[in-house]
Amino acid sequence: MIKKSKQFIVAAAVSAACLAGAFGPAQAAEEQYFMLPSYRVGPYGANGAAWYGGFIDYLSYVNMKGGIDGVQIAWDECETEYNNAKGVECYERLKAKAKAAPGPIHVMSTGISYALVDKTAADKLPLAMMGYGLTMAVDGSVFPWAFPLVTTYQMQASAIIKFLKDKNAGSLAGKKIVYLYHDSAYGKEPILALEAESRLNKFELVQIPVAHPGNEQGAQWQRIRQEKPDYVIMWGWGVMNMTALKTAQKMGFPREKMIGSWWAGSEEDVVPAGDAAKGYMSATWNVSGKGVPLIADIEKTVYGGGKGNLSDKSKLGTILYNRGVSAAVLSVESIRAAQAKYGKGKAMNPEQVRWGMENLNLDDARLKALGATGLLPEVKTSCDNHEGSGKVKLQQWDGSKWVVLSDWLEGNKALIHPLFQADAKKYAKEKGITPRDCAAEAKKK
């Protein structure tokens, strides 16, 4: 009986809504528009499909729960194939639509984000680079529109060193660490940070580059065998990760002493390596699995309602899927923060969204309310800190799933952040940018 009356109410509500739609005055629906220059084909298509699948699923989830305080989310995808020129084309194509009420722009590619940093600043659109991209944009005084949210390669490298230090009773003095990296912008960014750490902690750092794509690493691992390092820190991407794990197995280097970056620590990296990946560790700024209430709820609500974005549902709950969800959570929360200041239930303009991203305070209480406790670290941003967290967890592959080894570990901020500021200062000089005065802005508030 109760069920029936419920059905009736729903039916009545639906028909009322239809009538209102048909006859009532057309209400200007508030809408926040996300442009998604995504990639689902090409060499990294599998990664992109999982990440953007998670991102879009969360946006659908928010819409199904009534939007951001009533503001519905709309989005368009545009295929970039991880190609810089195509990414720029997509951005230019969609930006006119995003001018009124944009969501943060996510491109999931370091190359494309580099090309967009200047363009978004000129167009005044917020650019988010979560765990990739131009890391010196942490300094918001030079980069008001770019946000390397959550954490950066440098802070991650520093956190990994911290993890190793804790493992070795607080000292790495006299140890030897090999840094094996993809010879591109992505692999080179952490070098300065690691060099600074090696001076501070007195360990020996050996740098070994791997040329793109990295499907042949015999020479590199031969060298590693000669060097006999205590640990190998690996900044790999795509096929390079699988090859490294397999070659390490062949050369007899223990996988338990290899630590990858967060782009070298997804299911896509370890599953193809099979047995060779067992015991391998990696950093991550989000956990995997469906154990997090939010992910389980997305599966129930979005996939239950037949609106899921993944064509391959087995990707649900993988590292990259959950990372997409985390990125979407941060984007939506930024808009919520902006709404709290500029008016609830209204679509936010670019300047307001930017303010929201710069004054984001995603604490444990809020994460709990979202059902995302433990999914991602707390994030609190400000004008001079567009990163907001700098924390990662360490996880280990047990042959079938990622097992989390540590709590959130923060890199050595006092050591790393001055490096960003120095880089940003140089950049501002080259480009002729006058930095904002963060201290004065903070005082005004």
Partner 1 sequence: MFYRETGQFKTSYGADQQIFPIRQDRIGIVLLLAVAFVGVPALGSEYFFSAILIPFLIFSLAALGLNILTGYAGQLSLGSAAFMAVGAYAAYNFQVRVEGMPVLVSFVLAGLTAAGVGILFGLPSLRIKGFYLAVATLAAQFFIVWCLTKFPYLSNDSSSGVISVPGVSILGFDFDTPRSKYLLVLTLVTLLALAAKNMVRSTTGRAWMAVRDMDVAAEVIGIRLMHTKLLAFAVSSFYCGVAGALYAFCYLGSVEPDGFSLDMSFRILFMIIVGGVGSILGSFLGAAFILLLPIFLDIVLPALSELLHLPFDGATVSHIQLMVFGALIMFFLVVEPHGLARLWQIAKEKLRLWPFPH
SS3 label, residue 409: strand
Among 5, 27, 311, 434, binds partner 1 (CB under 8 A): 311
Q: Is 139 in the site for partner 1 (CB under 8 A)?
A: no
**If you search the block for the tokens 């809504």, which residue do you land on?**
17
- Cis peptide upstream of residue 43 (ω within 30 degrees of 0): no
Q: Is 95 in the site for partner 1 (CB under 8 A)?
A: yes
Tell which positions 154-173 bind partner 1, by CB under 8 A. none
Among 32, 33, 35, 38, binds partner 1 (CB under 8 A): 38
CB of 347 to partner 1, least distance (A): 22
Number of other residues whose CB lies within 10 A of the CB of residue 57? 25
Q: Is 207 in the site for partner 1 (CB under 8 A)?
A: no
How far from 3 is each of 6, 7, 228, 305, CA to CA, in Å? 5, 6, 69, 19
**If you search the block for the tokens 């629906």, which residue do you land on?**
29
Residue whose CB is less far from partner 1, 123 or 384: 123
Q: Is 184 in the site for partner 1 (CB under 8 A)?
A: yes
Q: Is 278 in the site for partner 1 (CB under 8 A)?
A: no
Among 192, 271, 296, 415, binds partner 1 (CB under 8 A): 192
**Which structure tokens are listed for 219?**
């020479």
Q: Is 99 in the site for partner 1 (CB under 8 A)?
A: no
Which helix or strand (DSSP H or E) is residue 209 part of? strand 204-210
DSSP string spanning 356-404? Answer: HHHT-EE-HHHHHHHT-TTTS--EE-BTTBSSB--EEEEEEE-SSSEEE
Q: Is 117 in the site for partner 1 (CB under 8 A)?
A: yes
What does the DSSP 8-state code read for residue 37? E
Identify whether the C-beta of residue 201 lies closer than 8 Å to the C-beta of residue 147. Answer: no
Distance CA 397, CA 403 (A): 6
Q: Which stretch binds partner 1 (CB under 8 A): 12-20, 107-115, 165-173, 314-322?
A: 107-115
Among 268, 269, 384, 423, binds partner 1 (CB under 8 A): 423
Residue whose CB is less far from partner 1, 79 or 227: 79
DSSP string spanning 344-355? Answer: TTSPPPHHHHHH
Distance CA 358, CA 345 (A): 20
Q: Is 427 in the site for partner 1 (CB under 8 A)?
A: yes
Residue whose CB is less far from partner 1, 48 or 260: 48
Provide φ and ψ at 40, rounded to 5°: -130, -5
Residue whose CB is less far from partner 1, 190 or 356: 190
Provide φ and ψ at 373, rounded to 5°: -60, 130
Q: Is 346 in the site for partner 1 (CB under 8 A)?
A: no
Q: Which stretch binds partner 1 (CB under 8 A): 62-70, 137-145, 183-191, 294-302?
A: 183-191
CB of 193 to partner 1, least distance (A): 9
Among 12, 14, 18, 85, binds partner 1 (CB under 8 A): 85
CB of 43 to partner 1, least distance (A): 11
Residue whose CB is less far from partner 1, 238 or 377: 238
Which letter, b or e, does each residue of 334-367 get, where b requires 16 or more Cβ atoms within 10 Å of its Cβ?
bbbbbbeeeeeebbbbbebbbbbbbbbebeeebb
Count of residues that interact with partner 1, criterion CB under 8 A = 41
Residue count of the chain: 445
Q: Per-residue x/- mask for partner 1, residues 43 to 82, rule CB under 8 A? A: --x---x---------------------------xxx-x-
Residue whose CB is less far from partner 1, 115 or 239: 115
Identify whether the C-beta of residue 179 lies closer than 8 Å to the C-beta of residue 206. Answer: yes
Angle at 68 between CA 64 and CA 70, to 5 degrees: 80
Among 41, 200, 219, 442, binds partner 1 (CB under 8 A): 41
CB of 77 to partner 1, least distance (A): 5
End-to-end alpha-carbon separation of the chain, Å? 56
Residue whose CB is less far from partner 1, 125 or 287: 125
Indicate the pairing of strand 361-362 with strand 379-380.
antiparallel
CB of 275 to partner 1, least distance (A): 31
* Displacement of CA 212 from its chain's centroid (Å): 22
Binding site for partner 1 (CB under 8 A): 38, 40-41, 45, 49, 77-79, 81, 84-85, 88-89, 92-93, 95-96, 111, 114-115, 117-119, 122, 134, 183-186, 188-189, 191-192, 211-212, 311, 423, 427, 430-432
